[in-house]
Chain A
Amino acid sequence: MEQALAFLTRVYRHATAWVEERIDLSGARELIRHKVVPVHRHTLWYYFGGMTLFLFIIQVCTGILLVLYYRPSAEGAFESVQFIMTEVQFGWLIRSIHSWSANLMIATLMIHLFSVYFTRAYRKPRELTWISGMFLFGIALTFGFSGYLLPWNTLAYFATKVGTDVAGQVPLVGHFMTRLLRGGEDVTGATLSRFYGIHVAVLPLLTTGILGLHLFLVQKQGMSVPPEIEHSGRPPRIMPFVPNFLLRDLVGWLSALAVLGALAAYFPWELGVKADPFAPAPAGIRPEWYFMYMFQTLKYLPAKIGPIDGEMIGVLGFGLGGLFLFLVPFLDRKTARGEKSPLFFWIGVGVVTYIVVLSVLGYAASGGK
Chain B
Amino acid sequence: MRQAWLVPLVLIPAWALFMPGDASAQKLPEGNACIECHQALGDPRVTPPAEEFARDIHLAKGILCQDCHGGDPTKFDAGAAMSRAKGFIGKPTHQAIPQLCGKCHSNPVYMKRFNPTIRVDQVEEYYTSVHGKRLREGDQKVATCISCHSVHNIRAIKDQQAWTYPVRVVDTCGRCHGDPKYMQGYKIPTDVVEKYKQSVHYEALTKKGDLSAPTCNVCHGNHGATPPGLDSVAHVCGTCHSVPEEFFSKGPHQKAFAAMGLPPCVTCHSNHDVMKTSDAMVGTTDSAVCLNCHTPKTAGYQKAAAIRASLDELRGNVQRTTEILDQAENAGMEVSQAKFELRGAMDILLKAQAAVHLVDPVAVKKLTDDGVQIANKMFAKGTQAMEDLRFRHRGLWISVAIILVTIVGLVLKIKEIDRRQGEG
| A residues apposed to B, CB below 8 Å | 82, 85-86, 92-93, 243-244, 247-248, 250-251, 254-255, 257-258, 261-262, 264-268, 270-271, 273
Instruction: Report the minimal beta-carbon distance from B421 to chain A, rounded to whole angstroms.
Output: 8
Return chain B residues, CB-CB under 8 Å to A92: 334, 388, 392
Q: Is the CB of B333 within 8 A of A268?
A: yes
Return chain A residues, CB-CB under 8 Å to B417: 243-244, 247
Return chain A residues, CB-CB under 8 Å to B332: 266-268, 270
Query: Of the candidates B334, B395, B410, which one forms a contact with A82 in the assembled complex, judged by CB atoms under 8 Å apart?
Result: B334
Q: Is the CB of B334 within 8 A of A251?
A: no
B63 located at the interface, meaning its Cβ lies under 8 Å from any Cβ of chain A in the complex: no
Q: Is the CB of A251 within 8 A of B410?
A: yes
The verdict on A254 contacting B337 (CB below 8 Å), with A247-B417, A262-B400, A265-B393 known, is no
- 10 closest A-B pairs by CB: A85-B334, A268-B332, A265-B396, A265-B392, A258-B403, A258-B400, A247-B414, A254-B403, A86-B334, A251-B410
| Count of residues in B whose CB is under 8 Å from the partner chain | 24
Q: Is the CB of A251 within 8 A of B337?
A: no
Interface contacts beyond A243-B417, A258-B399: sample of 19 additional A-B pairs, CB < 8 Å, sorted by A: A82-B334, A82-B336, A243-B413, A247-B414, A250-B410, A254-B403, A254-B406, A254-B410, A255-B407, A261-B403, A262-B396, A265-B392, A265-B396, A266-B393, A266-B396, A268-B332, A268-B333, A270-B334, A271-B336
Q: Is the CB of B334 within 8 A of A261?
A: no
The verdict on A254 contacting B407 (CB below 8 Å), with A82-B336, A86-B334 known, is yes
The verdict on A268 contacting B336 (CB below 8 Å), with A244-B414, A254-B407 known, is no
Instruction: Report the minimal beta-carbon distance from B416 to chain A, rounded to whole angstroms.
Output: 10
B156 located at the interface, meaning its Cβ lies under 8 Å from any Cβ of chain A in the complex: no
The verdict on A82 contacting B404 (CB below 8 Å), with A265-B392, A265-B395 known, is no
Counting chain A CB atoms within 10 Å of each CB, the highest count among B396, B404, B406 belongs to: B396
Q: Give Cα A261–Cα B404 distance, bound, in whole angstroms.
A: 13
Return chain B residues, CB-CB under 8 Å to A82: 334, 336-337
Counting chain B CB atoms within 10 Å of each CB, the highest count among A254, A257, A265, A271 belongs to: A265
Q: Give Cα A268–Cα B391 distance, bound, in whole angstroms.
A: 14
| B residues apposed to A, CB below 8 Å | 332-337, 388, 392-393, 395-396, 399-400, 403-404, 406-407, 410-411, 413-414, 417-418, 421
The verdict on A261 contacting B418 (CB below 8 Å), with A85-B334, A266-B332 known, is no
27 A-B residue pairs with CB within 8 Å: A82-B337, A86-B335, A86-B337, A243-B417, A244-B417, A244-B421, A247-B410, A247-B417, A251-B407, A251-B411, A254-B403, A254-B407, A254-B410, A257-B403, A258-B399, A258-B400, A261-B399, A261-B403, A262-B396, A265-B393, A266-B332, A267-B332, A268-B332, A268-B333, A268-B334, A270-B332, A271-B336
Q: Give Cα A264–Cα B396 distance, bound, in whole angstroms.
A: 9
Q: Give Cα A265–Cα B403 distance, bound, in whole angstroms.
A: 15
Return chain B residues, CB-CB under 8 Å to A251: 407, 410-411, 414
Closest partner residue, chain B, to A249 (CB atom) = B410
Return chain B residues, CB-CB under 8 Å to A270: 332, 334
Return chain B residues, CB-CB under 8 Å to A261: 396, 399-400, 403
Q: Give Cα A248–Cα B407 distance, bound, in whole angstroms.
A: 9
Closest partner residue, chain B, to A252 (CB atom) = B407
Return chain B residues, CB-CB under 8 Å to A271: 334, 336
Closest partner residue, chain B, to A81 (CB atom) = B334
Q: Give Cα A247–Cα B335 distance, bound, in whole angstroms.
A: 41
Q: Give Cα A247–Cα B407 distance, bound, in whole angstroms.
A: 10
Q: Give Cα A308–Cα B392 distance, bound, in whole angstroms.
A: 54
Q: Give Cα A125–Cα B124 distance, bound, in whole angstroms.
A: 97
Instruction: Report the minimal beta-carbon distance from B332 to chain A, rounded to whole angstroms.
Output: 4
Counting chain A CB atoms within 10 Å of each CB, the highest count among B388, B393, B400, B418 belongs to: B400
Q: Is the CB of B413 within 8 A of A247?
A: yes
Instruction: Report the minimal beta-carbon distance from B179 to chain A, rounded to whole angstroms.
Output: 43
Return chain B residues, CB-CB under 8 Å to A85: 334
Instruction: Report the minimal beta-carbon distance from A249 to chain B, rounded to whole angstroms.
Output: 10
Instruction: Report the minimal beta-carbon distance from B385 to chain A, rounded to whole angstroms.
Output: 8
Q: Give Cα A72–Cα B382 distance, bound, in whole angstroms.
A: 29
Return chain A residues, CB-CB under 8 Å to B337: 82, 86
